[in-house]
Every structure is written in C-alpha cells, then in structure tokens.
Structure 1
Amino acid sequence: EAALQLATQQGPHMLVKYATLHGAYLLQQDQYVQAAAVFARHGTSTQPPNLQMYRRIAKEILSRGTESQTQGAGGAEPGAPPLPSLRAMLHKVVLCMRQGGDEGHGEFERLLWIAHLTAAQAVAAERGAADASKRLAVAMLRYLREVPADRAFYEAGMACKAQGGEGLNMGFVFLNRYLDITEAVEEHEPHSTSLDNSDFANTEIPFDFPLPEQQFLGEAEREKVRDFVLELSMNANVQQALNHDELHAIFSEADVVRDACMRGGRAAGASDELFSIVQAAVGQIS
C-alpha cells in the first residue's frame, strides 16, 4: 500500500504498474476480492496479461456468489465484500477498453452484466419482489459458462417454486436439472456433456458448460430438493415442461433492461419493478 501511495504521486501509468504487481501477488495468495479492490481503486490496463488477471478474478468471484466473505485457499478472505469490488473493477476495465478502442470489451461487458444481475437478485430479495426475483434467476441461466450451473438451476427452480401455480412446471424442470448436475458432480464429471438436454431444446439456455468441482448445497439440502422433485413428479397438475413463450419473454426483457441500464435511457417494454431493481443495483457502483 505504501508503494501504491507513492506511485499515486508519479502519475496514472506508474500507479497502474504497481497496482498490477500488487494484484498479481494477491492472486498468488488466492485473495481475489482484495485484488479486485486494488484494481477498482487504483486503475486497470488493457494489456493482455492484465486482462487475463481481470478475467480470472471475475470468474473466481462470480463462482462464489454473493457471500460477504469469499473463501480462498487460506480460509475466509477478509476485506471488502466481493460483488462491489468486482463490479467496480469491471466497470473500470470496460471504460478503459472503450476509451482505447479495444474491440474485446464485449467479454468484460458480459461479465459486468452478470455481476449486476447477481447484485440485482440481492436487491430483489431485500424488497421482497418475488416476480422480479424469479425473472432475474431465470435470466441468469444464459450464463452457465460463467456462474456455477448447480447454483443457477437451484436458484431458478426455487424462485419458480415460490411463485407457485404454473411456475411449478418450470421449477420442476430446473430443479430436476439441478439434481442431474449434482449427480454428475458426485461422479467428478468435469463437463455437461453427459447430461440430457431434451428439456432445453430450442432455448437460449446453454447445453455446453463446465460443472463445478464442489456441491453448492450440503447433502441435507439436496435431499430436500429430491423430495420436492419427487412430490412434483406425482402431482398430476404439474408438467415437466418449459413455457417457451415465458422463457423468451424473460430473456428479451433482461436484454431490454441491460441495454437501458448500461447505455442509458428507459427500458421500454420491461416491467417498472424489474427495471427499478436492476437500475438500483447498477447505481451502487456508478
């Protein structure tokens, strides 16, 4: 930190140089949140090695959700909460790349949007906005290559379950998929290639994604999901089928909200509640 303070007096170029050295050291210690905080505070670069560091930080933090403390190799990682640090870092990366005319900014815009969606889920939960929570959780299913698939399907399934009624049909599909993933994780499968994708044909939900190395839930919680899925399978009013029109509407609405929040303007065609929630989440780092 002393070196970073000294570098501040030597101009932005030297500050980013020392921030990069300090960030690289923190990555070696698996201190991803602290590294994100360093880059968020002191600046970023568009050099390929730097971008690789930012990419790694983003994927590590996104894989761990919204916990206030992130687990590293040495246990709980102290310091700033993960999402604000990550989003502030990614915001600087995107601005830096745009200003430099770097065409690769789309990848980091995507990571930033995923982080915003994750933060928006927390805002929706705080507001008790059940419908928005469901829409955000389902929207996250397009990003299975960046977030843990078991967590994404579990959260989408439980959000649909909370809605009840016709939402149970999609909840059934998502939670059944969650259980398939947990079984593959138990078998140490590294990839989704062994899973049956018939329920997700003709949707934007990816077939091809990595599987997590560890379970999102403990055995007792997984057993509760198994019991609920079994209960749904015996309910004549519940079908294991996705509502493709609703799914398409959720994804389209998320795109409208993303464009409005990231580019400025109103989210024409999106619900005011959802737009307000995502806008509040994005505004946390603006």
Structure 2
Amino acid sequence: MVKEAIDTLMDGKEWNKAKKVAKEFEPRYEPYVDEKYKEYLKGTGKAEDLVGVDVVAALDMYAENGQWEKCVQTAAGMNNFKVLHKYVALYATTLIKEGRSDAAMDLYVKHGTPPYSQNYNIYKRIVTDLLKTSDLMKAEAYRTWADLRDMLHDLCENLAKSSESNSPQHEYFDTMLLIAHYYATRSAAMGHDQLKPIAAKLAVSLLRHTDIIPADKAFYEAGMMCKKVGYDSMAFVFLNRYLDLVEAIEEGSLDMLDNTDFQETDIPAEVPLPEKAYLSVCCESISLIFTASNIY
C-alpha cells in the first residue's frame, strides 16, 4: 500500500510528499523516489533542480544541452578540480571545433592548466591555431599572446611538479612557452617606435622555431618587420625565403628548397610543410614590395 501511495504522489508530481511518505513509513523506498525524481528532472530538462539531487547528472545535462557556461560555472562551485577540468576540457574541445581556440585558451587562463596527459592535444591545438592566426602581428595582439604565455607558464609549472618533469612533453611545452613569450614581447615592442628594432629582432629569433610556427608566416613577418626598420638585406633574404616556401606549398614538396643562406644558422632546414599558405598574397605582390623598397 505504501508503494502504491508513493507512486500516486509521484504521478501527480508531488515529489516532496512522496519523499516524506517514504521516509516516515517505508525508508527503503527513499532511493526509489530519488531515482524517479532524477529521471523526471532529466526528462524535463530541469538541470538547475537536478543540481541539488545529482550534480554530476546536472553537469552532463548542461553539457548535452550546450549550456557550457552554466556547466563550467556549476562545476567550479563544487571545489572538485578533477570534475571541473573534465567539463573544461569538453567545453574547450567544442570551442576548438567551432574555430574559437582563443576562447578555449581563456578557459584555461581562468581555471588553470593541469598537467593531464589527456589534455596535451587540447593545449597543442590551442597553440598551433593561434600561431596560424593571421591578424596577430600588431601591438593590439599583446593581450592574446600574454594570455597564451600565462596558460603555458601555468602548465609548465604544473608539469615541473609532476611525474612528467623534464620529460619530452615538458620540454616541448617549455619551447611553446618561449615562443609565446617572444610573441608577447614583440607585440609590446611594436607599440613604441623606439622599440620597433627590438620587435624586428624578436621576429627573426622566432625563425628558430619554424618547426612549430608555420614557416611561411614566420619568414613573411620577419621580412616585413625587418623592412620597416631598414634591415633591408635581412628583409630581402627572408622575403625571398617566404616566396620559395609559397611555391613549395603550391607544389606540395620542400625538395627544391635551397637552404644555402641558412647553413651557418640555427634556423631549421627541415620544417613541416604548411597545408596552405599563410597569406593569399601572390608572388608578384611581394616582388612589388622588393622593388618599391629598392632592396633588390
């Protein structure tokens, strides 16, 4: 009779009364009422009410419904770092798929960057996507590069305290941190005329990392920044290299690339071939830059 009474109350959505009857007359039915209530909340999409009954189920519901901000906010209130970062990683993956790697980075800047091996590909993708972005060669890009530096610094600090300390992965992210630092410092220098030569030198320093940075982008930026501060010989070499890389990308092979100019440098000769060119600037346009600047 008690179960039938409980079922009747639940059918009428009288959940508190059903819970009270179970508690007072047949406590063994309390889990039964709880489970039915959770099923009801899931079925009706009432995630906020579900938080007080089964917070993980509520987080899953937020995630399934695309309510990511609410999901992460609720997870952050649990004071459970691992649970929080489960949903941060899921949200970051969604943002990356949507082409919003900068927003994924913001998540880790806000919530921290744990040294979880299952997150490494997320961190790498955030970095590589930002390195491929075409509108960050300016002083106004400082905040983006500084945030990337902060994210990677936090990650490297955490790796240093983990079993991954001094591992190849740790060294790789340390290199990424250095690259982000160069970019942030370059952007800061670009905002002051007297520091623009330093910005150009940082662009040249970044050529050491064309095994990570898209090579055509790095040489284009180094060439253009050298041209702006009057380093014409360097600009000529770097922009010529950019043109050679554009041709290599079009042909799908680096086999014909001449590395003579870089034999006595630490600029890598073997670099990954970008899938597509950094810019849609044709070779004739770069030739015009050479001619106009009298650096042929």
Q: Do these two structures clear the TM 0.5 threshold for a shared fold by scoring above it?
A: yes
Q: In the alignment, residue 33 of structure 1 is paired with which amino acid?
A: D
Q: What is the TM-score normalised by the length of structure 1? A: 0.68
Sort the Cα spacing of 1:105 and 1:149 in 2 relative to 1 into closer, same or farther, 3 A: same
Whether the 8 Å contact between 1:63 and 1:146 is mirrored in structure 2 is no
Give the Cα–Cα distance (whole angstroms) in 2 for the partners of residues 20 and 66 of structure 1. Answer: 26
Distance 1:46 1:175 in 2: 39
Gaps of 5+ in 2: 1-68, 138-142
How many residue pairs align between the two structures?
Answer: 218
CA RMSD of aligned residues (A): 2.5
Whether the aligned pair in 2 keeps the contact of 1:144 and 1:152 (CA below 8 Å) is: yes
Q: In percent, how many aligned pairs have the same letter?
A: 35
Q: Residue 196 of structure 2 is aligned with which of 130, 134, 137? A: 130
Shift of 1:234: 8.3
Q: CA 1:181/1:89 → structure 2, altered by over 3 Å: closer, same or farther?
A: same
Which position in structure 1 is the counterpart of 2:74? 6
Residues 228-248 of structure 1, C-alpha deviations (whole Å, 9 max, x = no match):
44678986xxxxxxxxxxxxx
Deviation at 1:149, TM superposition (A): 1.3
* Structure 1 alignment gaps of length 5 or more: 69-80, 236-286
Aligned to 1:174: 238
Does 2:273 correspond to 1:208? no
Shift of 1:50: 0.6
Conservation of the 8 A alpha-carbon contact between 2:146 and 2:181: no
User: Quick one: which amino acid aligns to residue 147 of structure 1?
Assistant: I
| Residue among 207, 220, 223 paired with 1:154 | 220
Q: 1:101 offset after TM fit, Å?
A: 4.2
- Spell out, residue by residue over 1:46-77, the C-alpha distance to the aligned partner (whole angstroms, 9 max, x if none): 22221121111111111215539xxxxxxxxx
Q: What is the TM-score normalised by the length of structure 2? A: 0.66
Which structure has the larger Rg? 2
Q: Residues 82-136 of structure 1, C-alpha deviation per residue, up to 9 Å, x if partnerless?
A: 4344233212211211121422322112111111211222111111123202211
Which secondary structure does the structure 1 equivalent of 2:267 belong to?
coil
Looking at structure 1, the residues matched to 294 and 261 of structure 2 have their Cα atoms a distance apart, in angstroms, of: 15
Partner of 2:117: 48
**Residue 9 (structure 1) shift:** 2.6
1-structure distance, mates of 2:84, 2:265: 45
Q: If each structure's helix is expressed as a fraction of its own residues, which one has the higher value?
A: 2
Shift of 1:144: 0.5
| CA distance 1:25–1:232, change in 2 (3 Å) | closer
CA contact (8 A) 2:113 2:155 kept: yes
Q: Which residue identity does 2:203 align to in structure 1?
A: A
Greater RCO, CA 8 A, separation 6+: 1
